[in-house]
Amino acid sequence: MNDRLDLYNRKRRFDDTPEPAGTRARRKPAGRKTTRQAAGEALSYVIQEHDARRLHYDFRLELNGTLLSWAVPKGPSLDPSVKRLAVHVEDHPVEYGSFEGEIPPGNYGAGSVIVWDRGTWEPVGGAAEAARSYAAGKLKFHLHGEKLHGGWTLVRSHMRGSGDKEQWLLIKERDDEARDESDYDILKKRPGSVLSGSASVAKGEKTTTAASKTARKTAASDAKSTAKRGGKSSAKAASSTRADPRRPDIVATRNTQSLRELAATPSIEGAVKARLPTTFKPQLATLVDAAPPGDEWSYEIKFDGYRVLARIDRDAKGSAVKVFTRAGNDWTAKFSKQVKAFEQLGIESAWLDGEAVVLDPNGVPNFQALQNAFDANRPQDIIVYLFDIPFLNGYDLRGVPLEQRRAILHALMEDVDDSVLRFSNNFDFSAEDLLRSACDMALEGIIGKRRDSGYLSGRSSTWIKLKCRRRQEFVIGGYSEPSGSRAAFGALLLGVYDSKGNLNYAGRVGTGFDAALLRSVKKELDAHATKRMPFAAVPRERSRTPVHWVEPVLVAECNFAEWTSDGIVRQASFVSLRNDKPARQIVKETPRQGADVQQQTDSISDDAPKKRAARKTSGSNVAAAGKTTAAKPKTAKSPTTAPPAEVAGVRISHPDRVIDKSSGARKIDLVQYYESVAEWMLPHLKDRPVSLVRAPEDIGGELFFQKHSQKLSIPNVTQHPGLDPGHPPLITVDTIKALVGAAQMGTVEFHTWNAVASNIEKPDRAVFDLDPDAALGWERMIEAAQLTRSLLEELGLTSFCKTSGGKGLHVVVPLAKQAGWDEVKDFSQAVAQHMAATLPKYFSAKMGAQNRKQKIFVDYLRNNRGSSTVAAFSARARPGLGVSVPLAWDEVAGTTGGDQWTIENLHERLAELKSDPWADYAKTRQRITAAMKKRLNDAQ
DNA sequence: GCCCGCA
DNA sequence: TGCGGGCAACGCGAT
DNA sequence: ATCGCG
Ligand SMILES: [Mn+2]
Ligand SMILES: [Mn+2]
């Protein structure tokens, strides 16, 4: 039986998509040949470019009446040295090979499909042999397509892809058709469809695939062509049509040349002679949910990037150009390429305002890519879009209308190197149209600015931002009980079906309802109440209130900010119940990717990457006099603590709340524990960025991980803006007040980075986190720690041991702040791998439970930049509230478990200690040497 | 635990 | 006023 | 290509 097409047919709804329905592979209309090869006909070959969730190329070869298919994420390469991953996917009907068009949202594989190449293929050894080769996992063949020719190999790798997908590799054979990837990228050189007129290649027109896919519908692209047609400068065009007639506009009427002359001494109306300030605060946009009426606004695309201010001053001693973040951090060093371009603007002095972005392969600004570019120190990948010029050549232009400032800026940028510096255009469309286009293109939103406004530092209403919200239907699978005075229910539990028919949990929505809606929705919920949990897997969240299930038949339309990578919606807001669509058809809709923003718009701005907390370094240094200074060990529980209490000068709310049911420990006990160990603990926290595990209710309830300062919520912690680009400041806990303050805020665990804030790129320690298979006895852990120590010692490194407070031990290696993150990480990986290689019965260097059966996982991954490990003396949010405790090596053998000490009993140990078991830690001066690396290398 | 957005 | 949601992100390894 | 884990 040939059932290979069943899956394909099941995944699609044929009444709803323009794709061909598969006829049975072998059952054909009368008169048609049984199979092509039987008749000696050539076998067809096709590559379809499929712009689905992920852009990929479907590589298909006809054999035995169907199309064998692989998804090749990166497409084919003519370079024999380049292997391209090809994920084996289900067979497709032969007819599908000529399909080109849109697969509507909601259908499997939604997105656009074009036939990128087609022709015939010829298996080496003939068709009969091909079936065997295919089964054996190695196909050699020749292609006769319009784009691809010559010999190719598809080989099944030993690797396995996700699901039950086989991983194959697509490789060009060495022959006359082969080309070096670096000198000929066929995907770039021959984009587009080989069918019909959309083959831009035919005309030799250079078009990116993303642009060709989306250009047709975006207002932005129209904007560009309009601007292009209208003249050299769209900014100029804009101002000439929009200038306020009451104010004679000396800028609007000028051409570029004339504007540049004007720029040399911009003493125009509104400009004031002024010295160039040394610091400058940017103007920020206010979030609004609807565009204001009227045409006084011009719009720009909101970039998902990082706000930068450039200061140019040729009179300055030192370098003329400096680049600052919004918070005023000097990031000049990260923008070496851009600095050169700034120098070439021919400006004497200025403040320039813009946004740094990295465009992803689709031409969409991508914040993650930007971070990567910073991390990898690749300034050449970064493009700075400039949109304003508040100071120029001795004049303060903040009083000059926006349009005129921008016209001058644009003129100045006429000849700039646009690979690193660009002018960000504006669009004179209706905000609605532009926003829709922007959202279509998976951009974040748009920025509106009053045409006639001056430049106002800080948050203001003359700049606004309109954000894209996603919107789609969800299946309601349950609801949580209301709390307080809320009626009916708290939130709806949402789900979407996947292609296999599983209803996957997709988060919850608890807002957007008014009282009437709550009531009417509840009525529906009650009508469909069930004991049966409808999701494929129980949602793994911990709900604040109990949940109830309903049959998965109700459909809720919601809007939301975005999907998380876990398939959960963020910031969902209820819109309405829908009964026009069967629940079974509700699937995750993915926004269309693509749209080369750079080509289509040249546009830009935004106020800042992500929300960033307001600046504040709180007065943690104001030492509270007397009683609360040094930790006076207050070990025992306070017998009766009348709420609210005060500890170390910090008010403690709900002191008597039980936070650990298993031990009965109360919030005040944890707070007092931290107060009592502050003296011991603070040296481990000081100046070290910290992530917090917080449990505001109790450790059995909702836990969350906090890496950045949340607005100003935790009192007394120190904030470090700029260390983690694009995020609110990182936090350090440097004082007892901060420590207790954090505990007051529900912090249970403190996890520290392997570097200090003052030298964030140079880790000062490496950590080996020994994680045991649950089945192993503690002796094995002791032995493992000692073996780890021996190896390190052998290499010449002194190490220190502490309990984890949970199940294992940590071995910590102090290092001089010398090597970078990568080097330390690579070294620690080498150590872990060496251990796994020499004692494979004892150690594994691979994470994952199945790699650790009867073994101990040497977790070196804690040594990544931004990773953290639970700090010494931190409690753990687990039953019993274990504590991570530093040990002398000669004590290790006598330990009984990773959670041997708890917030309850640690004081006993501390009271008995004669000296700090880690007394030598601070004195240890050592670094990773080439010799050490070599020994590890040679050994393995 | 607290800030924010929404009713 | 009171409620609910957010409060990390990234590498690794499996399938 | 995507999921789950830590
Ligand atoms: Mn596909
Ligand atoms: Mn561990």
Whole-number Å distance, alpha carbon A768 to ligand 2 midpoint, is 9
Whole-number Å distance, alpha carbon A53 to ligand 1 midpoint, is 9
3-state helix, strand, coil in chain A (%, to 5): 25, 30, 45
| DSSP assignment string, A107-168 | STT-EEEEEEEEEEEEETTHHHHHHHHHHHTEEEEEEEESS-EEEEEEEEEEEE-STTPEEE
Protein residue at shortest CA distance from C1' of C14: A162
Å between A867 CA and C10 C1'?
Answer: 9
From the candidates A302, A334, A588, A807, give the one annotated as an active-site residue: A302
Whole-number Å distance, alpha carbon A120 to ligand 1 midpoint, is 20
Burial of A158 (0-12, 13-18, 19+ CB in 10 A): exposed
Å between A505 CA and D4 C1'?
Answer: 15
Å between A248 CA and C8 C1'?
Answer: 53
Quick: pLDDT tens for A821-853.
Answer: 999 999 999 999 999 999 999 999 999 888 889
Cβ of residue A376 near strand B, that is under 7 Å?
A: no
Å between A164 CA and C15 C1'?
Answer: 6
Protein residue at shortest CA distance from C1' of C11: A861
Cβ of residue A848 near strand C, that is under 7 Å?
A: yes
A781 alpha carbon, closest ligand: 2
What letters, b where the CB count within 10 A reaches 16 and e where it falls short, cover A126-138? ebeebbebbeeee
Q: Which residues contact A671 (CB under 8 A, 6 or more apart)?
A: A645, A647, A652, A655, A740, A743, A744
Nearest nucleotide relative to A614: CA against C1': B3
Nearest nucleotide relative to A160: CA against C1': C15
Q: What is the 3-state secondary structure (H, E, C) of A254-312?
A: CCHHHHHHHHHCCCCCCCEECCCCCCCCCEEEEEECCCCCCCCEEEEEECCCEEEEEEE
A113 alpha carbon, closest ligand: 1
Q: Which bases of chain B are contacted by protein, using any atom under 7 A from a CB?
A: 1-7
Å between A499 CA and D2 C1'?
Answer: 13
Protein residue at shortest CA distance from C1' of C7: A706
Instruction: Give the type of residue at A786.
Output: Q
What letters, b where the CB count within 10 A reaches 16 and e where it falls short, cover A194-219? beeebbbbeeeeebbbbbbbbbeebb
**Nearest-angstrom CA–CA distance, A158 and A171:** 16
**Residue A678 contacts residue A739 (beta carbons within 8 Å):** yes
Instruction: Give the type of residue at A250.
Output: I
**Residue A386: φ, ψ to 5°:** -95, 140
Q: What is the ipTM for the molecules in this complex?
A: 0.84
Whole-number Å distance, alpha carbon A859 to ligand 2 midpoint, is 7
**Nearest-angstrom CA–CA distance, A172 and A152:** 5
Query: In the CATH scheme, what architecture does the domain A765-938 have?
Result: Alpha-Beta Complex (3.90)
- Number of neighbouring beta carbons within 10 Å of residue A315: 8
Whole-number Å distance, alpha carbon A271 to ligand 2 midpoint, is 61
Nearest nucleotide relative to A710: CA against C1': C7
- Domains A646-753 and A765-938 equal at CATH topology level: yes
Stated as kind and residue range, the H or E segment containing A459 is strand A458-467
Å between A884 CA and C13 C1'?
Answer: 28
Cβ of residue A560 near strand B, that is under 7 Å?
A: no
What letters, b where the CB count within 10 A reaches 16 and e where it falls short, cover A244-281? eeeeebebbebebeebbebbeebebebbeeeebeeebe
Cβ of residue A931 near strand C, that is under 7 Å?
A: no
Q: Which bases of chain C are contacted by protein, using any atom under 7 A from a CB?
A: 2-15
What is the pLDDT, as a whole number, of residue A237? 30
Q: Which of residues 663-682 of A touch strand C (CB under 7 A)?
A: none
Å between A162 CA and D2 C1'?
Answer: 6
Nearest nucleotide relative to A163: CA against C1': C15
R_g of chain A computed on alpha carbons: 32
Instruction: Give the type of residue at A761.
Output: E
Protein residue at shortest CA distance from C1' of C5: A571
Nearest nucleotide relative to A574: CA against C1': B6
Nearest nucleotide relative to A573: CA against C1': B6
Domain assignments of chain A as residue spans, ordered by start: 5-16+42-189, 256-281+305-428, 471-585, 646-753, 765-938
**Residue A46 contacts residue A140 (beta carbons within 8 Å):** no
Whole-number Å distance, alpha carbon A369 to ligand 2 midpoint, is 30
Cβ of residue A545 near strand C, that is under 7 Å?
A: yes
Nearest nucleotide relative to A537: CA against C1': D4
What is the pLDDT, as a whole number, of residue A96? 78
CA atoms lying within 13 Å on the CB side of residue A453: 18
Whole-number Å distance, alpha carbon A605 to ligand 2 midpoint, is 43
Model's pTM, two decimal places? 0.57
Instruction: Give the Å distances, CA to CA, from A170 to A141, A182, A199.
Output: 11, 18, 24
Nearest nucleotide relative to A746: CA against C1': B1
Protein residue at shortest CA distance from C1' of D5: A848
For tokens 């006429």, the residue is: A414
What is the pLDDT, as a whole number, of residue A390? 95
Q: Please check whether the domain covering A471-585 is classified as CATH 3.40.718.10.
A: no
**Residue A50 contacts residue A58 (beta carbons within 8 Å):** yes
> Strands A547-550 and A395-396: what pairing?
unpaired
Q: Which bases of chain D are contacted by protein, using any atom under 7 A from a CB?
A: 1-6
**Nearest-angstrom CA–CA distance, A802 and A807:** 12
Whole-number Å distance, alpha carbon A599 to ligand 1 midpoint, is 26
Q: A789, A770, A767: which is closest to A856 by C-alpha?
A: A770
**A256-281+305-428: what fold?**
D-amino Acid Aminotransferase; Chain A, domain 1 (3.30.470)
Tokens representing A60 are: 């298909």
User: For the packed helices A402-412 and A256-264, what is the interaxial angle rounded to 10 degrees?
Assistant: 100
CA atoms lying within 13 Å on the CB side of residue A839: 16
Nearest nucleotide relative to A667: CA against C1': B1
Footprint of strand D on the protein (CB under 7 A): A 50, 52-54, 56, 71, 73, 85, 87, 159-163, 165, 167, 498, 537, 540, 566-567, 771, 847-849, 859, 861
- Number of neighbouring beta carbons within 10 Å of residue A905: 12
What is the pLDDT, as a whole number, of residue A161? 44
Which residues have a beta carbon within 5 Å of ligand 2, which is an ion?
A 769, 771, 808
List the beta bridge partners of residue A471.
A559
Tokens representing A246 are: 């009451």
A610 catalytic? Reply is no
Å between A165 CA and D3 C1'?
Answer: 13
Cβ of residue A742 near strand B, that is under 7 Å?
A: no
**Residue A690 contacts residue A747 (beta carbons within 8 Å):** no
Å between A793 CA and D2 C1'?
Answer: 42
A46 alpha carbon, closest ligand: 1
Whole-number Å distance, alpha carbon A809 to ligand 2 midpoint, is 7
Tokens representing A226 are: 């309009």
Instruction: Give the type of residue at A45.
Output: Y
Å between A514 CA and B6 C1'?
Answer: 9
Q: Which of residues 562-581 of A touch strand C (CB under 7 A)?
A: 565, 569-572
Å between A458 CA and B6 C1'?
Answer: 26
Å between A766 CA and C9 C1'?
Answer: 20
The residue length of chain A stands at 940
**Nearest-angstrom CA–CA distance, A79 and A199:** 23
**A646-753: what fold?**
DNA primase, PRIM domain (3.90.920)
**Residue A819 contacts residue A927 (beta carbons within 8 Å):** yes
Residues of chain A short of pLDDT 50, as ranges, are: 1-39, 105-108, 161-164, 197-248, 592-641
Whole-number Å distance, alpha carbon A365 to ligand 1 midpoint, is 24
